[in-house]
Structure formats: C-alpha cells, structure tokens
Amino acid sequence: MTRLAIRGGYVLDPAGGTDAVRDVFCARGKIAGVELATEEFEAEQVVNAQGCLVMPGAVDLAVCLNPLGEQRANVGSETRAAAAGGVTTVCSVPETQPIPDSPAAVRLLMEQAQQAGFVRLETLGAAMQGLGDTQLASLGALREAGCVGVSNGMRPYASLMVLRRAMEYAASQDLTLFYHPLDHALASQGCAHEGAFAARLGLPGIPPAAETAALAQMTALVQDTGARVHFCRLSCAQAVDMLEIGQQTGLPVTADVAVHQLFLTEEAVEGFDVNALVSPPLRTEHDRERLREGVRDGVIQAICSDHQPLDPDSKMAPFPEARPGISGIETLLPLTMKLVTEDILPRTSAVERLTAGPAAILGRGAGTLAVGAPADLCVMRLDDSWVFETDSMLSAGRNTPFDGWRFDDRVQATICGGKLVYERGGAA
C-alpha cells in the first residue's frame, strides 16, 4: 500500500487528544504517526493540507445504500458520494435489497462495498426475518457474518413481548439493538409535526408522544433485560430529557440525531415542500434547540445523515403520500461544521459527534488518528465559502432541502485505508 503523508494541516482528533498543526503519516493502511515533519518517512504520495482541518474520517450511522424499490441508488453510487462528503465508514440500515436477514445478504452488501472501494461498510442486520413483526432472524449467524448490530428499521414489532425477545437474543450475542422510538398507532398516517402549523396546512400530524411513549417502553425493557440499545434519530425535546435521565441512572443507552433536525423546523414544509418530508418529522424551534443542547452536552453521542436517496418519482406525489427522506450524506459534514461557525457547537465536540462518538456505538476502532488505527481521514478546507447545488451531487438521489445553502468549510480530500479515495478537483 502507498505510504502517504498529509502535511501542514491542523489536526483535530478528540479521541487521540491531538489539537495542533501536525503532519500525519500513513503506511500499510494504518496511521504510522502524527507528529511534526520528519525526513525519515519516505512518502510515495503527499497531500498538502495547509489551511485545512485534518480529522478522522466521519462515521455515519444511518445510510440507506439501496432503498427498497429504488433502481438508481446503489452501493457504488452512494459510497462514492460518502467519500466526497468526508465519510469513511458507513453503517447501512436494514431497509436494503436484499434485506440483510441472512449471512448471504450481509456478505453481498459487504462485497459490493469492497468492490466499490470508497469507504468501509458496517452493516446492521435485520432483527426480524424480512423486517416482519413476529419471526426473529438468526442473530447469531448475522453476528458471525460481521453485523455490528441489529434493527427492524422503521418497521414495528408485533408486540412488546416480541421486542423483549429480540433484545434478549441480541444481548446474548453481544449485539446492540438499534431502535427507532415510534409508536405506530400514535403516528397513524401522520406526515408532519402535530401542531398549529400542520393544522393550517391541513396535514395529518405525528405527536411527540409517538416518540416518547415508545422510548419510555423501551427504557423499561432495558431496565428489565440489561440489553444494550441505541435510539435512532431523536426528534423532540422530551425524548432528549428522557434519554438523559436513563443515562444518569446507568442504563446502557445511546442515541443519534439526523443533522437536518439540527437546522430545520416544521416551518420548512411551508408550501408543501416534499424535500422537507422526513420521518420522524421536523418539529418545533424548542425541539431543535433541545436537540442541539443534547449534542453539545454529549447526551446525544452521534450526528448522522439519515441518508435516503430517492428517485424523483418518490417525491412527486402529494405531500402526505410522498416518500419521506433526504439524500444527506454529502451535507453531513458541511452542516455539522456550520454549527461551529455559528457558535452553536465547539469544533472539538462537532468532530467527536462525527467520529469517535459513532465509532464507539458501533464498537469499532474507527474515529481516531491514533498510531495503528485505520488510516481513515478527512481533510477540510476552512473558510472556503461555497454554495451547495444539487447538480453537483454524486449521490443518485437529489432529494434535499439544502440546495442553494452557503457553507464555509468544504471537504478537500478523503483517505480510506491509506488510499486517497476522493480529492476535490481530482480523479480520485
């Protein structure tokens, strides 16, 4: 493998404690050193990082590589987009085709990602066969196949007893259960946050209680079983409060938030903008501020893209009938760093929520530039004002509400396993 030197950048590695101008050296796919320039290292390739932030590659906990029924988005197109977005590890959600409820399906996904060669792939296995609601998948076999956790995605379980059995089975295999806190009966056919804004537009609402009721039930089951649970895509203030109490009492629970929830509110659906249709829905200004506080304080350990690239037809239906989702992997880092430039989040915290935080949830050695760690890095040019445009996206999905947004920091290069997999303006 190529011996690579990233020279002159400002290295920020919260997990490793580095926060200074340093050179980074990579050899045999690993970090060989983080230090001042040395003449002893003979680099075969050099990346000039002067004026740039050098950080571990981002670890994205929620990437749909091949949405069920979609033809354009695939593992190759979406992992290439991930590399362009500074992401070096993607965790695929179970809503893929084929559904990862068997070792063969898991291996197929991993082989496709390996052939594409842009990022590392971690896979969530399906907790239930076919993402159904009654029959557990073979979780032990999924663990042996390399799954880092299991989930039923946004699909419901038949009962709390079935959910409890899934938790017990996952715990017996040392697997984290990734859980979307959503009471489907309370959510009903809603498509927007339940409140005055949705009522004015005539849209059926989803109350925050649909999230908090499910979270409360799961918290009780965690207390009962001791299973390790990760809450996916929190959206409301009370859920953050409940999570914080659970963590303070010692429960083995973590959580993430989709980056769009940290910027947009229910008002983004004004004019029935289907690009702002997401699940869970965008909520109030109060909810957004509490989510930001949760990220800042470490109650929420990870920021993810909740990347769901959709064909144009999926967004052509009337708002309540259109498919929810944002193609977000290329805006994950720019949006998170925007929290820094707007003095909402310290830079160290922002980088940690993109790297070491999600890596710890997956139980993998990513998210750090410590010597011997995988040579996965992102080089971001700071104070480089630019405008995000859908026409420049590498993802096969162009469904985003962030078209035309201006950002101050931009991914310059991405290195995965010591290989330059993306360079702005280059051929990588």
State how far the Cα of 124 lies from the Cα of 110, in Å rounded to an integer. Answer: 11
pLDDT in tens, 202-222: 999 999 999 999 999 999 999
Domain range 57-362, CATH class: alpha beta
Which DSSP letter does residue 204 get?
P
Tell me if 158 sits within 8 A of 189, measured CB to CB: no
pLDDT at 42: 84
- The pLDDT > 70 percentage for the chain reads 97
Residue 303 pLDDT greater than 90, yes or no = yes
306 is catalytic: yes
pLDDT at 153: 96
Catalytic residue among 101, 287, 306, 376: 306
* 427 contacts: CB under 8 Å, gap ≥ 6: none
E strand or H helix at 417, and its extent?
A: none
Give rounded-to-5 percent helix, strand, coil for the chain. 35, 25, 40
**CA 237, 122, 428: angle at the middle one, nearest 5?**
105
pLDDT at 256: 98
Q: Name the pLDDT band for 69 (thresholds 50, 70, 90).
A: low
**Domains in the chain: boundaries:** 57-362
Looking up tokens 């799954």 gives: 147
pLDDT at 72: 72
pLDDT in tens, 132-178: 999 999 999 999 999 999 999 999 999 999 999 999 999 999 999 99
